[in-house]
């Protein structure tokens, strides 16, 4: 059974300073000694979580996407994180899944954080992105999506009204989740792993942002039983974890709770 090596970069961000953030992340990526296949950056990694997208938004032909393509190609890894994108005069909080050859997929954040006014500035996405790597299926989501279990939920394939195959093996959440609500972050990452019987990786930032919100990280890797495999409690940290498909399949075989799940459709 295959393994999958994932590296998360938990770090402070330079507020509204793309060039400084890209330089910082390149230095951190160059410092990674562990063999890895996927590198995960936080939400809005080039700017911080800002609600004035106009001056900061880029197109898909902009400098940040070009930088992601270059880094992925040079390091021969998959690079992911979310960026402010202007697409046809609409602003999106867009996660980009950049492959080593320069091709990419993307996911636009579905659940906008109305508490901070994100719903007034950004357009919601209307579809999920489930990527495939070495036989692993990966559901890619952003921060506030974590609070909405239906959007994160497995939708198995069925044959003769029997669930036969799960939709994904891993969920990745990129985030700017503040310290004052970190209990919800930790609890929900474990909940999403347990209910979906999959691995979950959550990569958060640290430091104080331009709105004086403190972030203490708590980036986590959780196994399909909800056990925490690693947690970056506070401060900048680069962590690499190897996920094992054999362990995943063993859990699903021994505890086939997923076969008893309700069938549903999401109406957008």
pLDDT at 182: 98
For 45-101, the pLDDT digits (tens) are 999 999 999 999 999 999 999 999 999 999 999 999 999 999 999 999 999 999 999
Residue of 43, 58, 118, 198 marked catalytic: 43
Alpha helices (H) along 60-181: 63-75, 118-121
Residue 120 in this model has a pLDDT that exceeds 80: yes
Euclidean distance between CA atoms 191 and 179, whole angstroms: 19
Confidence class for position 268, pLDDT limits 50, 70, 90: confident
For 218-245, the pLDDT digits (tens) are 999 999 999 999 999 889 999 999 999 9
**61-82 as b/e: b if 16+ CB within 10 A:** ebebbebbbebbeebebbbbbb
Section 129-137 average pLDDT: 97
pLDDT at 24: 98
Residue of 37, 58, 109, 118 marked catalytic: 109
Between 213 and 156, the more confident residue is 213
Structure tokens at 181: 């609500």
Residue 43 annotated to the active site: yes
Q: Which CATH architecture has domain 3-260?
A: 4-Layer Sandwich (3.60)
pLDDT at 161: 82
Looking at every residue in the chain, the average pLDDT score rounds to: 96
Cβ contacts of residue 31 below 8 Å, gap of 6+? 238
Domain range list for the chain? 3-260
Q: Could you say which DSSP state residue 142 is in?
A: E
Cβ contacts of residue 76 below 8 Å, gap of 6+? 100
Residue 109 annotated to the active site: yes
Residue of 37, 58, 118, 143 marked catalytic: 143
Residue 208 in this model has a pLDDT that exceeds 90: yes
CB-based contact 228:221 (threshold 8 Å) = yes
Residue 143 annotated to the active site: yes
Residue 267 in this model has a pLDDT that exceeds 90: no
Integer Rg of the chain from CA: 18
Structure tokens at 6: 């994932």
Residue 1 in this model has a pLDDT that exceeds 70: no
């Amino acid at each position: 059974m295959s393994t999958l090596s994932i590296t998360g970069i938990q770090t402070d961000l330079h507020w509204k300073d793309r060039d400084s953030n890209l330089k910082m992340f390149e230095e951190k990526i160059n410092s990674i000694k562990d063999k890895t296949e996927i590198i995960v950056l936080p939400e809005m990694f080039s700017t911080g979580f800002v609600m004035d997208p106009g001056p900061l938004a880029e197109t898909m032909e902009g400098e940040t996407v070009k930088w992601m393509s270059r880094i992925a190609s040079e390091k021969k890894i998959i690079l992911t994180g979310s960026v402010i994108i202007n697409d046809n005069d609409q602003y999106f909080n867009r996660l980009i899944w950049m492959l080593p050859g320069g091709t990419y997929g993307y996911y636009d954040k579905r659940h906008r954080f109305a508490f901070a006014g994100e719903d007034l500035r950004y357009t919601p996405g209307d579809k999920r992105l489930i990527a495939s790597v070495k036989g692993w299926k990966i559901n890619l989501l952003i921060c506030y999506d974590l609070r909405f279990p239906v959007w994160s939920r497995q939708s198995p394939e069925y044959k003769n009204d029997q669930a036969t195959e799960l939709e994904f093996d891993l969920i990745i959440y990129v985030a700017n989740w503040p310290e004052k609500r970190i209990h919800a972050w930790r609890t929900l990452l474990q909940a999403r792993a347990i209910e979906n019987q999959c691995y979950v990786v959550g990569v958060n930032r640290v430091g104080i942002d331009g709105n004086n919100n403190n972030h203490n990280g708590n980036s986590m890797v959780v196994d399909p039983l909800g056990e925490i495999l690693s947690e970056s409690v506070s401060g900048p940290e680069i962590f690499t974890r190897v996920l094992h498909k054999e362990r995943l399949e063993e859990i699903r075989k021994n505890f086939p709770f997923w076969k008893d799940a309700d069938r549903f459709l999401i109406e957008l």
